Amino acid sequence: MFGISAAAAATMVTFTKIIDAFTDPAMGALADRTKTRWGKFRPYLLFGCLPLTAAGILTLSTPDLSEGGKLIWAYITYSLLMVCYTAINIPYSSLSAVLSADGKERNRINSTRFFFAYLSSIIVGAATPDIASYFGGGDLNNARGWQITMMIYASIASVLFLITFLTTKERVEPLKSQKPASPIVDLKTLFSCSPWLILFVFAMVFVVVSTLRSASATYYFKYFVGRLDLLGPYVGLQFFGLMLGALMAAPLAKLIDKKKLLMVMLTIGGGLSILLTFVPQPDNSGVIHVEDYQSDIITAEQLLGEKDIKSTEWFSHEKAIWKFTKRVPLGVKTSSIAAEDHQDKVVSVKAMRADGSLLDSGKLPPQIYIIFLLNFLISVALGVKPPITWGMYADVSDFNEWKTGRRATGMTFAATTFSQKLGSTIGSAVLLSMLAYLGYEANAIQADASRNGILYLQTIVPGILVILTAATLIFYKLGQSTLDKIQLELAARSDKEL
């Protein structure tokens, strides 16, 4: 669309991750030291939304420049976008810790936040290609279509940030006796805080798991399941499960201590992920996947393994996140599948036998339904994690204030956000390294070791990592009774200063 190579784009993304290593803690430190009549974090929602909107639109704009000029433009605008995103995301994430000192209320806030985050991911994933194509005059690669799409999304985001600013109030403030200190002091305090260190490792490893699951899904469906057209529904169901898990988080946290709840749900999710390893490879002999570089000729007799066929109807399965079986008839008995006409399609056929019975090569085998069910249940179990852990970060901020007399909410959340970005980078590196080690070959029939490795990256590897992640919480000592004691003592200190 813009005219820079994939390698250049990958290098650019890596460059911005390096920038994040500095901007995340810098933004946390800045927010902690901000003093306005609106609070520490809310002002950034008010004044940061328009710069973020402008940076997003510039990033999706394509000026007529030379190849070198385009690369410079891409680096500048994308880096600006990431800086603007950090400037609003760190305060926004920290806000949940200062809206209320009540742990249950924080759970409800974060549960609602992540429910709508997953819901919006489903909507954006489903609608974006159609919106970009519509404004691009029917061409998905038209730069103008993507620029207008970004304008729409950026405008909606700005309105929502303004609504958040107008409808919230910061109620938890540092003690007035807190003395000024450098950001280095805040970082040292964090890295000497054992509950935060446990959550830092916990968050990093969990993001490695999430990255492995999402990044390996394409390989899993292409080379193991054999139905790449079902990847969209698989991911859509995954997000729906995460959304349901996020919605369940707050009610469950009323019944079970947060630490125990996380350990139980993550163990369930990890166990189900390991169980997914043992679902047999689906029998897809009646479905042909035609790559965008491939041309082939197939007959209904070959596809169905039948000779006594009276009439046929061909179907090309579209890949759409919101539909399982949107079909476009090809309408020929012997179908010549040319790359230029049918890019990256899955083709099946319905046929009538001479005795009148019906055959459908596109009928899903039972293993597909088991894979989808387990994926949904895994996602529900893992979906409980984000709302609960973001509430736990707020608890750590309270604990540090109680222990050291300093409250550094912004730095706590900024360093945590960085751990997640680090986990994403590690997850991507692990995936690519394992594929290379197993002898993966793009767009080719995989050897047994490679195919099994792809299966394990989607199933048993994330499952084991999730269970190990749950085990780290054994060392997390901020139980509810301790947190209740901390809140009472902090409230007493605050009352003394009035």
Give residue-wise pLDDT tens across range 240-269.
Answer: 999 999 999 999 999 999 999 999 999 999
Which residue has better confidence, 79 or 22? 79
Is the pLDDT reported for residue 90 higher than 90? Answer: yes
Which residue has better confidence, 430 or 340? 430
Give residue-wise pLDDT tens across range 131-155.
Answer: 888 888 877 667 788 889 989 999 9
From 1-5, 240-244, 303-307, 338-342, the region with the lowest mean pLDDT:
338-342
Amino acid letter, 196: W
Gap between the Cα atoms of 444 and 5, Å rounded = 23
Q: How buried is residue 267: exposed, middle or buried, by Cβ count under 10 Å (0-12/13-18/19+)?
A: middle
Give residue-wise pLDDT tens across range 176-185.
Answer: 777 778 888 8
Amino acid letter, 293: Y
Give residue-wise pLDDT tens across range 457-496.
Answer: 999 999 999 999 999 999 998 988 888 899 898 888 887 7
| pLDDT above 90 as % of the chain | 38
DSSP string computed for 120-179: HHHHHHHHHHHHHHHHTTT-TT-HHHHHHHHHHHHHHHHHHHHHHHHH--------TTPP
Residue 420: pLDDT band (50, 70, 90) is confident
Which residue has better confidence, 224 or 439? 224
Which residue has better confidence, 384 or 415? 384
User: What's the pTM?
Assistant: 0.83
- For the chain, the average pLDDT equals 83
Give, as one character, the DSSP assignment of residue 444: S
Residue-level pLDDT at 337: 45
Residue-level pLDDT at 95: 94
Residue-level pLDDT at 336: 45
Give residue-wise pLDDT tens across range 26-78.
Answer: 999 999 999 999 999 999 999 999 999 999 999 888 777 777 787 888 888 88
Q: What is the C-alpha R_g of the chain?
A: 26
CA 113: distance to chain centroid?
A: 14
Arithmetic mean of pLDDT, 434-451 = 67
Gap between the Cα atoms of 157 and 384, Å rounded = 25
Residue-level pLDDT at 492: 87
Gap between the Cα atoms of 343 and 295, Å rounded = 10
Residue-level pLDDT at 290: 62
Residue-level pLDDT at 416: 84
- Among residues 350, 433, 109, 386, which one has the least CA distance to residue 261? 386
Q: How buried is residue 355: exposed, middle or buried, by Cβ count under 10 Å (0-12/13-18/19+)?
A: exposed
Question: What is the token pair recorded at 374?
Answer: 């387990």
Residue-level pLDDT at 314: 78
Give residue-wise pLDDT tens across range 310-333.
Answer: 777 777 765 443 333 333 333 334
| Torsion-angle region of 478 (φ positive above 0: left; ψ -120 to 50: alpha; else: beta) | beta
Question: Domains in the chain, please, with CATH?
Answer: 6-281+368-497 (1.20.1250.20), 288-364 (no CATH)
Arithmetic mean of pLDDT, 225-253 = 89
Residue with tokens 């608890």: 395
* Residue 102 CB contacts under 8 Å (≥ 6 apart), including other chains: none
Is the pLDDT reported for residue 92 higher than 70? Answer: yes
Residue-level pLDDT at 289: 64
- Count CA atoms closer than 13 A to 174's CA, side-chain side: 22
Residue-level pLDDT at 341: 46
How many Cβ atoms are within 10 Å of 63's Cβ, its own excluded?
A: 10
Angstrom CA distances, 252 to 260, 265, 330, 470, 482, stand at 11, 10, 50, 17, 20
From 120-124, 226-230, 276-280, 439-443, the region with the lowest mean pLDDT:
439-443
